Structure 1
């Protein structure tokens, strides 16, 4: 597969200071960023005796403050671009039949522009009650309800309640990947252990928001550094809660835990350093996969003869552009 990945120029970051009521938190995030991202995936160790391989590659798209100025998909086999009807996530769908290669390399390069003003313009005031529904791992049980009652006690407005939940998650969780089971976004595990990564932090936040009758949703992608270029070690996820008539408000509880001095900034401010890959949980791909709904759609989903295949390796690169 021929690799094409061209960059030029340096990024010019214009600082932005703006305020989010009612907390008046100063945002450290640039008003606008433009960068190039390469998402590389290798499907490895495919069994030669298999009859069929199906691959769903997640694709970043233009949505919610993010504009994809250019997207190039490099694949040795034909693909079709599809979109799930619930969350609007795009994907490249590929099918392979005999004779099968031992491995398959895919690469998607993006030129993206992330804008705070665009997010706020597109962040409409329509009802979002569908984002009160639980998923397989983002649940509302009595433990979650009790935590939520404590977190929102004395709070009157929706935003005040969301802030109470935000503080509760930061105050009771720790970013810790030493115990197996982290990274699935399992609310029950988060309540029991009080530990995990960004998926676990934000699954707990979303569960508690739902318990308080606050619409909330899960997002996942990449945090793009502000250095000139380099590699990105892995995914990052965050959450948003919905204020009726005013729109979605982003939160990043795990980053606020890691960087306490930025706790105010990570509540309610759109972060232009984030590159969105997909939204939602328990996703039915298009065409529908044989297995259960996909818990988190960030890595390529692969099925070999109808069974999920875990032989997937990924790498991510970025370059800031002017």
Structure 2
């Protein structure tokens, strides 16, 4: 029932049927209020300059669009990099240094799934989770970081930063902001990006199936287990008739969840995403396969503006 409910909500937000469109229109008065608040916040914000390059990798729709893997791809190219994120789904509150120059200091319950995936994927970087991004930026500077990546930082108008916005391969047919649709910001805000990356053209997802870090094929009888936003998007990378069990985004799996699935799907192998894997591996599932995701950025994408932005801070230090 829960699986059907969150899939229904995601269809409503992005690709609504006739009934869902009617509900969407009925909620438009609330959407106008929401948009007024967003526009007021943006108009009144006075961006703070922190004296360190800050690259925001974000989107303007609800849920995943590749922010974390793109952040990993970009941050891996820089020394003394720090990635800052809120840490959705974590059991903790406040500021935590999840990893320091590659040394992991916290567990996945404290960090949240995305932060732990970042920590595992960036063996030289520092990862910080905090609801207050300004507090986290100051902590990163205190730790000696030289460049900061904000995972999902576009809406942090009070922070002076370089904005990269990711655009989905399949644009939602529902163009409204919350709660009438799946946009967190008006669609016109794509124009506010310093760089806009369109999935399928500017970057592509490359999926490899792995077992114990080795590339392999999936068994015929395999079940997809995931707790990411818009889980149906995973199906294009998997065998046509694969079964799927999905949970709400950032869901914390329990032992009972896994036992129930294993009892219902005996003799099945299981496959999951990197974000889910950091949580599922604690259950010692011997037949668990990983959808290892890499991002391939088209060589024609021009990052010269971003490099100029980063270099401007180095020149500032030299002039001081």
Which of the five TM-score ranges fits, normalised by the shorter chain?
under 0.3
* Structure with bigger RCO (C-alpha 8 Å, 6+ apart): 1
Q: Hey, which of these two has a bigger chunk of helix by percent?
A: 2
Q: Hey, which of these two has a bigger chunk of strand by percent?
A: 1
TM-score of the superposition, structure 2-length normalised?
0.24
TM-score of the superposition, structure 1-length normalised?
0.24
